[in-house]
Amino acid sequence: MELLAIHGGTPVRTNKIYYGRQCIEDDDVRAVAETLVGPYITCGPKVRELELKLAHFTGAKYAVVVSNGTAALHCACIAAGIGPGDEVITTPLTFAASANCALYCGAKPVFADVDPETYNIDPQSIRTRITERTKAIVAVDFTGQSVKNDEIRKICDDYGLVFIEDAAHAIGTTYKGKEVGSLADMTCFSFHPVKTITSGEGGAITTNDPDLYNKLVLAHTHGITHEEQEMEETEIEGPWYYEQISLGYNYRLTDFQAALLISQLNKLERFKQRRKEIVETYNEAFKDLDGIILQKEIAESDTCRHLYIIQLDLDKLTCTRREFFDAMSAENVQCQIHYIPVYWFPHYKRLGYTKGLCPIAENIYNGIMSIPLYPLLSDSDVEDVIHAVKKIATYYSKK
């Protein structure tokens, strides 16, 4: 048996790798530089071009580009008309923004449990959480795998709910051959640097509904319109005239960020293929490894995977998750945990949420760990990660 680095052995590699990292190439840099010296720095022609490109790519009728994924979720909740007294059902196994967007609107996030094998929100559990106050579902494509779109659509139709898909992890994923972004009432994307394609900070919402689209446009730019047919005053004073017709925010993206994202979008297919290749290599390497459980995928999802998660089967290992995590770190493979159940946070505790609401999600949280996954990983990096996981799992195996 190999001596673990944490016990003084030689680490599997000398320099540290992290769980995720952006891929910015020379043409990305050129695209930003060209836009920076042009006439528009903030919202201009590159933002428009990006919106058309995103709509075309996802197959949605409309796309609105915003300053980040959280703003995208906030705008979607505003467009859905969510307000005080409403409830919004989401998963606890997500970044806090998926639930915070309901709080921003004065509504109450309600947590449904997840499927023990895919880790995605469980439609059966959603049904048990519905009340007469339920207004929307924020379904997260966790790790990039599509949620069960058909089942969630059916629930939304049965109860008259708005289906918001949080696809922060899932650009490039298809469900039954259809691109994520074309399926839900509104789909939200994030272009944060750890996500599959990036504009530094950035986000977008896609929709097929012209009414939701108009509301999204207003929500992300102060509720101000320049369109005469939308104005309420009959006297238009002059060409400078515009109206604020609702309460909106400044959630605009800049043109140089849009230029970066247009350039990144052109690489998405390449990034997806490389991510898939690494996922397959990991799956193959770990499939018979004692103490490690792999995330399962539904056949309907052709996944552009954002995160690769291993779940420790702690009954079969002599270590804790913390010891495994620290051992990986000592091997110079820096993992991360996605995610702490949202309602465990002090802010949610103060709002009255308690542990135990979603036992399956909590149990998954206790064993999971995200290992490195991004297109820039070389084959030898991937081998190092596999080596580290096998070395540690073997060392701590009860067998």
Ligand X SMILES: *Cc1c(COP(=O)(O)O)cnc(C)c1O
CB of 140 to ligand X, least distance (A): 5
Residue 99 Cβ vs ligand X, minimum distance, rounded to whole Å: 9
Nearer to ligand X, 140 or 279 (CB): 140
Residue 240 neighbours by CB under 8 Å, 6+ apart: none
For ligand X, the nearest residue by Cβ is 69
Q: Is 326 exposed, middle or buried (0-12, 13-18, 19+ CB in 10 A)?
A: middle
Closer residue to ligand X in complex, CB, 35/196:
196
Contact assessment for residue 207 and residue 318, using Cβ atoms and an 8 Å cutoff: no
Of 256 and 324, the one with the shorter C-beta distance to ligand X is: 256
Structure tokens at 209: 């509904």
Least distance to ligand X from the beta carbon of 65, Å? 12
Q: How far is the CB of 340 from ligand X (least distance, A)?
A: 13
Q: Decide whether 57 or 189 has the Cβ nearer to ligand X.
A: 189
State the nearest-atom distance from the C-beta of 338 to ligand X, in Å: 8
Which residue lies nearer to ligand X by CB, 191 or 324?
191
Q: Is 322 left (phi over 0), alpha (psi -120 to 50) or beta?
A: alpha
* Rounded Cα distance, 172 and 17, in Å: 24
Instruction: Provide the minimum distance between the beta carbon of 166 and ligand X in the complex, in angstroms, as a whole number.
Output: 5
Considering the complex, state which of residue 203 and residue 291 has its C-beta at the smaller distance from ligand X: 203
**CA 269 from chain center: how many Å?**
18
Pairing between β-strand 134-140 and β-strand 87-90 as defined by DSSP bridges:
parallel
| Minimum CB–partner distance for residue 9 and ligand X (Å) | 35
Which spans of this chain sit near ligand X (rule: CB under 6 A)? 68-70, 94-95, 97-98, 140, 166, 168-169, 190, 192, 203
Q: How far apart are alpha carbons 297 and 295 in whole angstroms?
A: 7
Of the candidates 159, 164, 105, 101, which has an alpha carbon nearest to the alpha carbon of residue 132?
159
Q: Alpha helices, DSSP H only, in 266-398?
A: 268-286, 321-330, 346-350, 359-367, 379-396
Nearer to ligand X, 291 or 372 (CB): 372
> In the structure encoding, which two tokens stand for residue 390, read together?
């096998």
As a whole number of angstroms, the distance between CA 102 and CA 85 comes to 11
